[in-house]
Structure 1
Amino acid sequence: MSDQRQPLPLADHDLRADCANCFGLCCVALPFAASADFAADKPAGRPCGNLREDFGCGVHDRLRDSGYRGCVVFDCFGAGQRVSQVTFAGRDWRGGPDVAREMFGAFPVMRQLHELLWYVSHALALPAARPVHPALRRIRDDLERRTLGTPADLAALDVGAVRAGANEALSRAGDLARAAAVPGRRPNRRGADLVGARLTRADLRGANLRGALLVAADLRHADLRHADLTGADLRDTRLDGADLTDALFVTASQLTAARGDAATRLPSGLDRPAHW
């Protein structure tokens, strides 16, 4: 890596979006297509029509009603401010086409690094996953070093290989945590196609639901305690009255994409989405 800066441990707030310190990168760098999630087409590199001069969103307080549900559920895990304030030291993409090209290329890579760091930090907080903590700490240190890379470093990074290495340790951490909390046989629906499935009141304690497609599934009053929901697609999933107490690796964006109510029990540290 050509950058010689030394990494500093990233705190929890570094892995949360701070739009006030970002140059609206998700509103410019990423493409979206007119659909149920977006009201209009936008190619990568073109600012969204709702982006203001100060990099704020003109419809931020009514995104869902304005047809931009996809923006509501998007989470950069703090990559936006990292690229804006660290990688580019406060220079914004309006400084010229070269800056814009490099910045828009760096943002999606940084977003994946920060997402992995979020998962690793949560895995390191699982006491039952202690056997894999040394490997997770090495992965965390490597990821943090990579977040300090130059735009060229980020562009050259094989993100798939980095993810594969991290996911192996994360999967093991989830397995250990599930086994400790729910001894015996546990449902394994990893990567399963459960689109629209009727799972009302299902006993999914300690289930492996990593990467499962649960779009529009009915999980009302289901027991999801200690289930591993890494990367599960919860768009329009019914979670009314469901128990997600101590569910593993649940992100705020997953909950925002789902549908729940006041009776839904959430993992510690996550807020109830405003639209529930």
Structure 2
Amino acid sequence: MGEDGEVTRPRSAYRSDCSSCAGLCCVALPFARSADFPEDKAGGDPCRHLGPDFGCGIHDRLRERGYAGCTVFECFGAGQQVTQVTFGGTDWRTEPALRQDMFDVFAVMRQLHEMLALLEEASERSSAPDLAEVAEQVSAVAAGSAAEVLATDLGTLRSAVGSILRRVSAEVRRPAGQALAGADLLGRDLRRRDLRRADLRSALLVAADLRGVDLTDADLLGADLRDAAVAGADLSRALFLTQAQVNALRGDGTTRLPAGHDRPAHWG
């Protein structure tokens, strides 16, 4: 934590590093046969494509093999935190007795790291007086033992983080743009809408047409952006846009992304 409450942990700490993880998302998480997955898999069962080195055997062919869901998933760095820090480099194969604990901690850690990633962004846009205190609380839990992580009152933490993010959003978006929080914008053509400083929290934007739209200072916290078209859109200053949301978009080389966000390989 730096001066004035700025969260100084590098952004890379809240991004997945599969090379430092024991394939936790490929085992702990379930998936069902759908447009995103070609088969069913129960939580706790290793994906059949998970290799002995915890690498994915079809990583470069996931979409063509029907695993689009894998290409949009982001653990916010929870995988390497649980593997390397919480459990000290052990894994569920060599220490099967830890298997369920690792999976349970991973589920909580992903939420903690997402909160930390959002608080980090908030600290770059605002100097809210209690931001540092809440960030320290979440960081302390994430750095704790497995038992401490599992004992976390996520509801209380989410409430505290949410309160800060709402205040930062109101500050950044002043004067406020369109109020569209929770709006059903499924498949809508929004190319002529002025969405600068808009409140799009939890808005349903699945398959919406946002090509060429300027989303500067628009609050996208929790917005469902699956398959939204963003070619030529300016997301470089969008507020609370996560890598997971970026992964779900349909963009291209003309889409402007925030610093620290990767351009998904499947955009071409």
Provide TM-score, normalisation by structure 2.
0.92
Kindly indicate whether residue 249 of structure 2 is the aligned counterpart of residue 249 of structure 1. Answer: no
Over residues 144-191 of structure 1, what are the superposed CA-to-partner deviations in whole Å (9 max), with x where a residue is unaligned? 110122222222222122112101101111111111xxx3x5101112
Aligned equivalents of 1:241 and 1:158: distance in 2?
A: 41
Counterpart AA for 1:198: D
SS in 1 for 2:118: helix
Aligned equivalents of 1:58 and 1:191: distance in 2?
A: 39
Paired position in structure 2 for 1:3: none
Paired position in structure 1 for 2:113: 114
Over residues 48-86 of structure 1, what are the superposed CA-to-partner deviations in whole Å (9 max), with x where a residue is unaligned? 011000000001111111111111111111110100011
Match of 2:160 among 143, 153, 165: 165
Provide TM-score, normalisation by structure 1.
0.90
Paired position in structure 2 for 1:150: 145
Kindly indicate whether residue 211 of structure 2 is the aligned counterpart of residue 212 of structure 1. Answer: no
Overall identity of the aligned pairs, in % = 52
Aligned equivalents of 1:190 and 1:196: distance in 2?
A: 16
Kindly indicate whether residue 180 of structure 2 is the aligned counterpart of residue 189 of structure 1. Answer: yes
Question: What is the root-mean-square deviation of aligned Cα atoms in Å?
Answer: 1.6
Q: Is the Cα–Cα contact under 8 Å of residues 87 and 150 in structure 1 kept in the other structure?
A: yes
- Counterparts of 1:1-276 in structure 2, within 5 Å, are 10-126=9-125, 129-130=126-127, 132=128, 134-179=129-174, 183=175, 185-276=176-267
SS in 2 for 1:168: helix
Structure 1 residue 229 displacement after superposition: 0.9
Structure 1 residue 9 displacement after superposition: 6.5
SS in 1 for 2:224: coil
Residues 189-198 or 34-43, more deviating: 189-198
Aligned equivalents of 1:269 and 1:104: distance in 2?
A: 28
The 1:269/1:153 distance shift into structure 2, 3 A limit, reads closer
Q: Please identify runs of 4+ aligned residues in structure 1 that moved more than 4 A.
A: none
Counterpart AA for 2:10: A
SS in 1 for 2:63: coil
Which 5+ residue runs of structure 1 have no aligned equivalent? 1-7
